[in-house]
């Protein structure tokens, strides 16, 4: 998963990942999970940096038919 990249290969796509990452990293502790098509990618932060659990990636047999983005933060 990289910012600025899109499976559609259209120039106007793939620009939002940076915004999704900036939100949880601005809090003391947070995570970002992205469920899309047949997989999931999750990042965990403590004090603005990846924590010990780091990142997690899973592939799934069935598609969810879209994209779901989940933030979790500690205020």
**pLDDT at position 40 over 70:** yes
43-59 mean pLDDT: 75
Neighbouring CB atoms inside 10 A of 36's CB total 15
- Band of pLDDT at residue 53, cut at 50, 70 and 90: low
Q: What is the 3-state secondary structure (H, E, C) of the chain?
A: CCCCCCCCCCCCCCCCHHHHHHHHHCCCEEEEEEEECCEEEEEEEECCEEEEEEEEEEECCCCCCCEEEEEEEEC
Domain map (residue ranges) of the chain: 17-74
Compute the mean pLDDT over every residue in the chain, rounded to the nearest whole number. 76
Query: CA-to-CA distance for 30 and 5, rounded, in angstroms?
Result: 24
Q: Is the pLDDT of residue 2 over 70?
A: no
pTM beyond 0.75, yes or no: no
């Amino acid at each position: 998963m990289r910012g600025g990249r899109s499976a559609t290969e259209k120039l106007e796509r793939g620009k939002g990942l940076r915004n999704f990452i900036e939100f949880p990293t601005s809090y003391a502790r947070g995570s970002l999970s992205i469920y899309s098509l047949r997989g999931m990618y999750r990042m965990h932060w403590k004090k603005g940096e990846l924590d010990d659990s780091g990142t997690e990636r899973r592939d799934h047999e069935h598609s969810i038919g879209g994209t779901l983005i989940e933030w979790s933060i500690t205020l």
